[in-house]
Structure 1
Amino acid sequence: MYIAFTLISCAFFIGIVAWYSYYKTKNTVSSSGGFFLGGRGLTGGFIAGALILTNLSAEQLIGLNGQGYQKNLSSMGWEVTAGFSVIILATILLPKYLGGAFTTLPEFINNRFDKQTRLLIVLLFMVGYGFITIPSVLYSGSLAVLQIFDIPHMFHNNI
C-alpha cells in the first residue's frame, strides 16, 4: 500500500510539471537557441540558479554526506573546490560562451578547433561519462533507492 501511494503521488506531480511545461512552452520553442538558451532572455540570477542546481544530485546530497559521516570530512574538499570552479565558470567562461552566440558545447568546439582536436575532445567526453560519471551516479542512486524504499525488506531477501 505504501509503495503504491508513493508511486501514484510521484506520477501525479511529474504529470503536473509536464503539463505545465507543455502549456507554457507550446509553439514558442522553434530554434536551438530558444530551446537551449531560453531565447537568450535569461537573467543572471536565473543562470546562476541553474548552475547551482545542476551541481546538486543524489551523489552530492546522499553520497558525499554519507561518506563524510562514515569516514571523515575529506570529501568536503571536493565541494569547496567545486564552488570556486562554478564562480570561475559563471564570471569568466559563461560570458564568453554566451557572447559567441553558441547554443551547444559541440557547436562551440566545432567552430573553434580543427577536426582532430574535436574528435579527441568528443572521445574524452564519451570515456569520462561512460566510465566515470554514469556508473558512479547509477550506483549511488541505486543504493539510495534501495535504502529509501527498503526494497530488500519488500521482497523478503537480501538484494
Structure 2
Amino acid sequence: MAHDTKDVECRTMTSLTASQKHAHGLCDGFPTILFYAREMQQLAEEIRTCSRDHPIELGDIDWKEFPDTWPNIFIRKSEQIRHSHVLFLASLHNPQTIFEQISLLYHLPKYLCRSLKVLLPYFPTGTMERIQIQGEIATAYSLAQMLSAI
C-alpha cells in the first residue's frame, strides 16, 4: 500500500513539475542540480526519483564546523554548477542551521549557475511576523527579507 501511495505522489509531483518546467526554463537542455540542507536528504532523494522527464542530479555539500562551531561549508564538484539550473531544498526548522544555509545561498550564484530556485517546504510561522509593541523584532519579516535578497 505504501508503494502505491508513493507512486501516486510521484505521478502528482511529476505532473506538477511538468506543467511548471517550461515556465522555469528547466527543459532547455541544461542540467539541474539539487542541493539540500542536511536534514532534507530523504526528501531530496525522493524528488530526484520522481523527476523522470527531466533528470535531477543531487549536489554534494560537506556541512562541517570549525572548532569554534562556525560553519565550514564545502561544495563538492562546484565546477558543475556553471550553466546548470540549481535548486536548493532548504530547511528552516532549526535556527542554528539557517545561517549556514543562507551563507550557501549567497555564494551559489557566484559559481555562475543558469538559475537558482529555493524550495522551502516549511516557513517557521511561530516566529514573530509583526510588531505590536515598540521594541519587538519581527523575526519572520527579517528572515523573509534575507531570503528575498538572494
TM-score bin (small chain): under 0.3
Give the TM-score, by structure 1 length: 0.24
Give the TM-score, by structure 2 length: 0.25
Of Structure 1 and Structure 2, the greater helix share is in 1
Structure of larger gyration radius: 1
